[in-house]
Amino acid sequence: MIKPELLTIHLIAAARPNFMKVAPLFHALSAEDWCRPLIIHTGQHYDANMSDDFFRDFNLPEPAYHLGIGSGSHAEQTGNVMIAYEKICLKSRPDWLVVVGDVNPTAACSMTAAKLGIPIVHLEAGLRSGDRGMPEEINRLVTDVLADVLWTPSPDADKNLAREGISQEKITRIGNIMMDSFELLKPQIEADKTLEKYGYKKHSYGVVTFHRPSNVDHMKVLATIIDQLCHVSEMIQLIFPIHPRTRQRLNEFGLMERLAAAPNIRLLEPVSYIPFMALVKSAKLILTDSGGVQEETTYLDIPCLTVRPNTERPITVTEGTNKLVKPEAVVTEAQKALSGDWQRGKKPDLWDGQAAKRAARDLKRRSLAAQ
Ligand code: UD1
Ligand code: UDP
């Protein structure tokens, strides 16, 4: 017995990396008879190819609430989400709040809920890059210190939380939900025709994504990356769906012309999940600074060069196919990977497509215990 009425669970979805994490959990909770999941879209990402297309791919319903916050400085985004989300909680208080990942609304909704006494669950808890220059690291620290339940993807995350003094009973290792997302849409990804559309043969091309402020907001760093990509494209054709932040900076710094003139680099708008994963799945090499892509390439056993000095996902380096590289070393490292000199990975424990089921079970157990 839980309650005569169903427990209401708010799932916060704000930006691209949230939608594919919320989707498996939403579907798993929707199949339960004790709860009612509601999606709250904060509106951080709003272009169709950064938001709606993911709702369509993952067969998610319209959000129960849309906060319409949009872009802004860190403080604007955080403050505006807090103000808007507090109004919803005061009108219709949820039994649980689930926040995912490390974007600004993850921390904002956690702070709002904590002060209202609403229990918080953090999905993808415990990841640490150790780099407070990353806005996401601040969001991870704030969210984890406030969360009542911490769902972790890997043992390194458990260790980080233990080191920070988070009590053991709050932590459940559920595994990596990004693999659930992939498994959920695997048939559609396998049937996708994007490769044929662009005339690519399997394993004959590389996929590129960049959007970290530390890479794209600094002209010199971005210029180095573009230069390196142009050289890599002399060895292998590249496909580069450009994040809106990156497109803006490329235009602002006058680097777009150089990139657009490279004959072997295909520039695209961001692509939605199914075609993106179809491209990644058959790629020979990935060049990225994305968090999620480091995990997807480890799962799919594809060499991944991550242009960052650190990662909050170290298991992708120790057990997977990921390698951290400096911007100026991209060509050398790509050459090595293309010649077969790269580390074959194994799927980390509990990266098995069952994380959402374990999460739903854990939340039911905790809800019963709280009665
Ligand atoms: C955000 C997250 C980052 C995540 C990334 C995933 C934070 C601090 N950052 O970074 O952790 O890795 O999303 O993609 O939460 N823009 C558009 N259309 C959109 C959305 C954004 O044009 O639909 C443009 C706006 O000019 C905006 C800029 O992109 O100012 C940056 O967007 P923002 O959401 O602030 O940060 P991201 O770089 O996307
Ligand atoms: N992704 C996508 N289309 C793209 C780029 C990325 O569907 O053009 C997906 C991919 O599954 C990735 C996820 O979006 O793992 C989140 O990516 P992003 O790099 O935006 O965020 P991060 O994981 O770095 O926070």
Domain ranges of the chain: 7-176+351-370, 187-339
- Please identify, by atom number, the ligand 1 atom nearest to the C-alpha of residue 102: 11
Report the percentage of the chain scoring pLDDT > 90: 98
Our answer on whether the CB atom of 207 is closer than 6 Å to any ligand 2 atom is no
Average pLDDT over residues 51-77: 98
Q: Which ranges constitute the DSSP H helices of 185-290?
A: 186-191, 194-198, 213-216, 219-232, 244-252, 256-261, 273-281
Contact in structure between 152 and 162 (CB atoms under 8 Å):
no
Residue 3 has pLDDT above 80, yes or no: no
CA distance 2 to 106: 27
- The terminus-to-terminus CA distance of the chain in angstroms comes to 9
Our answer on whether the CB atom of 17 is closer than 6 Å to any ligand 1 atom is yes
- Give the count of alpha carbons within 13 A of 349, CB side only: 7
Contact in structure between 152 and 175 (CB atoms under 8 Å):
no
Following CA atoms 12, 16, 17, 20 in sequence, which dihedral angle do they give, to the nearest 10 degrees? 80
CA distance 213 to 315: 23
pLDDT of residue 5: 86
pLDDT of residue 242: 98
Residue nearest to atom 20 of ligand 1 (CA): 45
Residue nearest to atom 14 of ligand 2 (CA): 17
pLDDT of residue 248: 98
Determine phi and psi for 276, rounding to 5 degrees. Answer: -65, -45
- Please identify, by atom number, the ligand 1 atom nearest to the C-alpha of residue 248: 26
Contact in structure between 303 and 290 (CB atoms under 8 Å):
no
Q: Which residues are catalytic?
A: 211
Average pLDDT over residues 323-331: 98
Our answer on whether the CB atom of 270 is closer than 6 Å to any ligand 2 atom is yes
Contact in structure between 255 and 222 (CB atoms under 8 Å):
yes
Residues 6+ apart with CB under 8 A from 241: 207, 209, 268, 269, 270, 271, 276
Strand residues in the chain grouped as ranges (E): 7-13, 35-41, 65-66, 96-100, 120-123, 149-152, 171-173, 205-209, 237-241, 265-268, 285-288, 304-306, 322-324
Q: What's the CA-to-centroid distance between 346 and ligand 2, angstroms? A: 21
Residue nearest to atom 26 of ligand 1 (CA): 245
The CATH code belonging to domain 7-176+351-370 is 3.40.50.2000
pLDDT of residue 4: 64
CATH 3.20.10.10 fits 187-339, yes or no: no
Residue 20 has pLDDT above 80, yes or no: yes
- Please identify, by atom number, the ligand 2 atom nearest to the C-alpha of residue 295: 15
The two structure tokens encoding residue 291: 């968090």
- Please identify, by atom number, the ligand 1 atom nearest to the C-alpha of residue 44: 34
Determine phi and psi for 228, rounding to 5 degrees. Answer: -65, -40
Which candidate, 85, 234, 175, 227, places its Cα nearest to that of 357? 175
The confidence band for 220, taking pLDDT boundaries of 50, 70 and 90, is very high
Q: What's the CA-to-centroid distance between 290 and ligand 2, angstroms? A: 6
Residue nearest to atom 9 of ligand 1 (CA): 103
Which candidate, 274, 211, 200, 273, places its Cα nearest to that of 239? 200
Our answer on whether the CB atom of 103 is closer than 6 Å to any ligand 1 atom is yes
Our answer on whether the CB atom of 44 is closer than 6 Å to any ligand 1 atom is yes
pLDDT of residue 1: 63
Contact in structure between 321 and 345 (CB atoms under 8 Å):
yes
Report the side by side order of strands in the sheet with 149-152.
Answer: 65-66, 35-41, 7-13, 96-100, 120-123, 149-152, 171-173
CA distance 91 to 77: 22
Mean pLDDT of the chain: 97
CA distance 360 to 306: 32
* Angle CA 77–83–87, to nearest 5: 140
CA distance 123 to 78: 19
With tokens 């010649």, the residue in question is: 339
What is the value of pTM for the model shown? 0.98
7-176+351-370 shares its CATH topology with 187-339: yes
The confidence band for 54, taking pLDDT boundaries of 50, 70 and 90, is very high
Helix then strand then coil, in percent of the chain rounded to 5, is: 50, 15, 35
The two structure tokens encoding residue 277: 């994963």
Average pLDDT over residues 189-204: 96
Contact in structure between 109 and 12 (CB atoms under 8 Å):
yes
